[in-house]
Structure 1
Amino acid sequence: MIPAGVKRILDKHQVTPDQRILVALSGGADSMALLNAFLTLGYTCEAAHCNFHLRGDESDEDERFVTEYCREKQVPLYIKHFDTQEEARQKGISIEMAARDLRYQWFWELVEENGFSQLATGHHGDDMIETFFLNLARGTGVRGLRGMREYRGVLLRPLLAFRREEIEVWCCRNEIPFRTDSSNLDTAYQRNYIRHNILPEMEQLNPSFFSTMQRNFKNIDDVWQVFMDRVEELKQQILAHEGEHMLIPIRLISEHPQREVVLFEILRPYGFKGATISEIIESFDGIPGKQFFSQNYRLVRDRYNLILLPRETGEEEMFYIENGLTEVAGPLKMSIKQYEANKDFKFSRDPRCIHLDADCIDFPLKVRHWQQGDLFRPLGMEKFKKLSDFFVDEKLSRVEKDKVWLLLSGDDIVWVAGHRIDDRFKVTNTTKNILEIRV
């Protein structure tokens, strides 16, 4: 059953036995079934196992299990250890997302370094349905509802037509051992919550829910292809290139009935996220000059166009805030107000909100990360202090220091964002105009 289904997918995508395949091997039923299907069919494969150290001895037992099995079957095995919890903490993401990022980054390194033709994973049909509901809850749009691709470049998923239960039954009947992850029962994980609480309810409503969702994925994908064909036509019609710059006419986007999703598909390849797209469209009614940033690109809202340009090497972490802006989208999302000082004024005690003497500020303000040698005068002090020493006093870790942004007027630090303003820019009894900045 399983080998025949895998063979059909391999033949469909012209994957031949002489090609080297890397199998992502967790030790669970799905990955063990996949590895054995390849071996049964006579394909050349090697395996990669991640130890995420999330389940104590159980994680180490998984590693020992796959090691012994691969040794018995004479399958070369790669093993990598990860500090997944630390990765999640540093990046401010979930454990699930951190584990996913870590394993795929390593898998692609192995593929590139060792010349594998394909990376095969044991994702099955139930995984695809769970991902659908996860993406529905996250609001990823139609792109995230299409389902997984059984073949995408180098990535191969030959088990998407099978259910989890089918795979486990096949393993048991063919005496293929596998490990059961105890954390799969923990509904604190979003995917597990969907698996144990939502999907059983859907199958109560429709006993053929699995096959219905398979058809839904096909229909959504067909609609998606029609939409993407139209997006490509629009790109050809409206986009203009001037050297490294790309111009996107604001009027043509603004007048389009599906402007948000169209603009997202235009800018998505350049690293812009859905939330930023909404802010870009809101800026159409504001004054020109507002800027938006992805990791490698800068988007400027000009009078008539959105101008997309690469961020220059060596200046990629310097951003500018022009006078008159009331909102800034990145790298810190800020609201800015200027008003006259009066007797009713009260200082903010919120570390995300500061008040400055507006007449001491020179625009454009600059935003950048800290650099070695930076000095400022922390509020209440008469002498300058090295920023590195200030971080020690604040007990910031290396990771936390690297995430700190500075607000500068000219070359002077105005604010160590979220921590302390510079004493030279504070509001005093002689202040006439106040600049309020809220993160």
Structure 2
Amino acid sequence: MKTFNPFDAASFRTALRAFMDREAIGPAGATLLVAVSGGADSVALAHLLHASGIPIQIAHCNFRLRGEESGRDETFVRNFAAQLNVPFHVRHFDTNEYASAGKLSIQEAARELRYAWLEELRVQTGLDAVATAHHMQDSVETLWMNLSKGTGISGLHGILPKQGALVRPLLFATREDIAGYMMAEQLAFVEDSSNASDKYTRNYFRHHVLPPLREAYPDVVRQTGASIQRFREAEMLYQQAVEGYRKKLVEKKGEEYFIPVLKLKQVRPLATIAYELLKPFGCNTHLAAQAVDLLEAGPGKFVTTATHRIVRDRKWLIVTPLQEALSAHFLIEAGQREVLLPGFRITLREEKYDGRPIPADADVAYLNASELSFPLMIRKWKTGDYCYPLGLNKKKKLSRLFIDQKLSLPEKEKVWVLESDKRIVWVMGMRLDHRFRVTEHTEQILVLKMETTR
């Protein structure tokens, strides 16, 4: 990895262009929106891009957190943009109020405000990408922070050079390289007093973790930066393997995902592959380990994440999204022709019965209208519900009916019932109640049809 000592500004610009070409950052003719705080790193980035012939515009966030110092920084960046003769954009934020409203730390609030505005501005101005001044040491600090709190392989790639419309052209350079460029080009900058504080985790690593490592390994930043590049390439191979397992093991049916238990039990390394397959469904390493335990559990056991439930079925792990709170019931008044429910709708019609055989269709109910009392009610089934299944004329709990039908837990949770005067008329999509069947004496029938809406 090249060093710039004694410093050669022209070679530094060449290295920038080579890095941007390699990482597909800023193709020919692209204009970058550069986030400039006024500090050395962002000033160097804007100057370096401009001097390399890359069109830029400058954006500055005034978070109004440091009194006169915040105003000083804005004035400096405004003047710097004027010196480069490039467009300047600024936004003032009430960061404290935003943090309080969202129950965020000041650092988190500033980050959210910054990136949201930069992307909004990029879209408004029609620019190609937002460029920030993260450099090699920032990426190395991120790696060490991730390692310290625990990480998977994705935490080893540090800060990525490109994420959507966000680019970091300076990741090839160390802090010392940037300082050398600033001196060579005689560039002024302003210092953020909060950089000296250790209350932020990154600053603690910057001030107290990396310096002792430098004493033992003077080139630790460059060497770790080189390792990060190798980690990124290893991650690419790793993700290719994970996608291969995902294609073999995860089958999507509607909103649910099915993973065969026997096949998953045979993969190695099981814990890692299970984690990667389940991570998109809100699983961390702890929950993924619990999901692996389901492989030896009985049917009906489950693990719940923030977004999904992972259920052990007889042959499958079934991943189903958590249902949002649904209305307790839906009423159908006499003469009503349609009712909308989550995921489906019911259409209704009345007709005179002509004695012809009733078609067999699980999604259509043909009911003896004289036995019904309006309003009818549609609701989710609950424990203790029972009916008299058509053809049986014998009381049976729905829970037992579901066992006979071999329904999984997610399938049971989706069952709705139609009720008349507190009596179940139809286990919808499954079974009619014998008491409401059409007979040879029936004169009027009510026909209800279920239709999926998503």
Give the TM-score of the pair, scaled to structure 2: 0.63
In structure 1, runs of 5+ residues without a counterpart are 321-361, 365-439
Distance 1:97 1:275 in 2: 25
Contact 1:246 1:308 in 2 (8 A): yes
Q: Letter of the aligned partner of 1:6 in structure 2? A: L
Q: Structure 1 residue 227 and structure 2 residue 238: aligned? A: yes
For 2:311, the equivalent position in structure 1 comes to 301
The count of corresponding residues between Structure 1 and Structure 2 is 318
Alignment equivalent of 1:10, drawn from 20, 38, 48: 20
1:282 Cα shift?
4.9
Alignment equivalent of 1:65, drawn from 73, 76, 86: 76
For 1:374, the equivalent position in structure 2 comes to none
Q: Letter of the aligned partner of 2:21 in structure 1? A: D
Secondary structure in 2 matching 1:160: coil
Q: Structure 1 residues 281 and 201 mapped into 2: Cα distance closer, same or farther (>3 Å)? A: same
Contact 2:139 2:171 in 1 (8 A): yes
1:186 Cα shift?
0.7
Contact 1:16 1:43 in 2 (8 A): no
Secondary structure in 2 matching 1:134: helix
1:157 Cα shift?
1.4
Q: Structure 1 residue 292 and structure 2 residue 325: aligned? A: no
Distance 1:99 1:274 in 2: 29
For 1:143, the equivalent position in structure 2 comes to 154
1:248 Cα shift?
2.1
For 2:402, the equivalent position in structure 1 comes to none
Distance 1:77 1:64 in 2: 11
For 1:277, the equivalent position in structure 2 comes to 288
Deviations 1:306-341 (A, max 9, x none): 333456xxx635699xxxxxxxxxxxxxxxxxxxxx
1:193 Cα shift?
0.7
For 2:324, the equivalent position in structure 1 comes to 316
Distance 2:317 2:101 in 1: 33
Alignment equivalent of 1:56, drawn from 46, 59, 67: 67
Q: Structure 1 residues 87 and 272 mapped into 2: Cα distance closer, same or farther (>3 Å)? A: farther
Distance 2:121 2:48 in 1: 22
Contact 2:33 2:131 in 1 (8 A): yes
Alignment equivalent of 1:184, drawn from 184, 190, 195: 195
Q: Structure 1 residues 233 and 187 mapped into 2: Cα distance closer, same or farther (>3 Å)? A: same
For 1:77, the equivalent position in structure 2 comes to 88
Q: Letter of the aligned partner of 2:66 in structure 1? A: R
Distance 1:91 1:248 in 2: 37
1:289 Cα shift?
5.2
Distance 1:109 1:270 in 2: 29
1:160 Cα shift?
1.1
Deviations 1:211-238 (A, max 9, x none): 2102211232232222212111111111
Q: Structure 1 residues 160 and 22 mapped into 2: Cα distance closer, same or farther (>3 Å)? A: same
Deviations 1:335-386 (A, max 9, x none): xxxxxxxxxxxxxxxxxxxxxxxxxxx978xxxxxxxxxxxxxxxxxxxxxx
Which deviates more, 271-280 or 243-252? 271-280
Q: Structure 1 residues 237 and 37 mapped into 2: Cα distance closer, same or farther (>3 Å)? A: same
In structure 2, runs of 5+ residues without a counterpart are 1-8, 329-380, 384-454
Give the CA RMSD over aligned residues. Answer: 2.9
Secondary structure in 2 matching 1:137: helix
Distance 1:219 1:33 in 2: 27
Q: Structure 1 residue 266 and structure 2 residue 274: aligned? A: no
1:189 Cα shift?
1.1
Secondary structure in 2 matching 1:248: strand
Q: Structure 1 residues 306 and 101 mapped into 2: Cα distance closer, same or farther (>3 Å)? A: farther
1:99 Cα shift?
2.5
Which deviates more, 274-283 or 95-104? 274-283
Distance 2:287 2:86 in 1: 46
Q: Letter of the aligned partner of 1:4 in structure 2? A: T
Secondary structure in 2 matching 1:307: strand
1:187 Cα shift?
1.1
Q: Structure 1 residue 248 and structure 2 residue 229: aligned? A: no
Which deviates more, 155-164 or 282-291? 282-291
Alignment equivalent of 1:168, drawn from 156, 176, 179: 179
Q: How does 1:8-407 map to 2 (within 5 A)?
A: 8-12=18-22, 13=24, 15-282=26-293, 284=295, 288=300, 290=302, 292-294=304-306, 297-303=307-313, 304-310=315-321, 316=324
1:201 Cα shift?
0.8
Distance 2:50 2:148 in 1: 38
Give the TM-score of the pair, scaled to structure 1: 0.65
Q: Structure 1 residues 196 and 245 mapped into 2: Cα distance closer, same or farther (>3 Å)? A: same
For 1:340, the equivalent position in structure 2 comes to none
Secondary structure in 2 matching 1:159: coil
Distance 1:209 1:243 in 2: 50
Q: Letter of the aligned partner of 1:300 in structure 2? A: I
Distance 2:325 2:287 in 1: 18
Identity %: 31
1:275 Cα shift?
4.8
Q: Structure 1 residues 229 and 188 mapped into 2: Cα distance closer, same or farther (>3 Å)? A: same
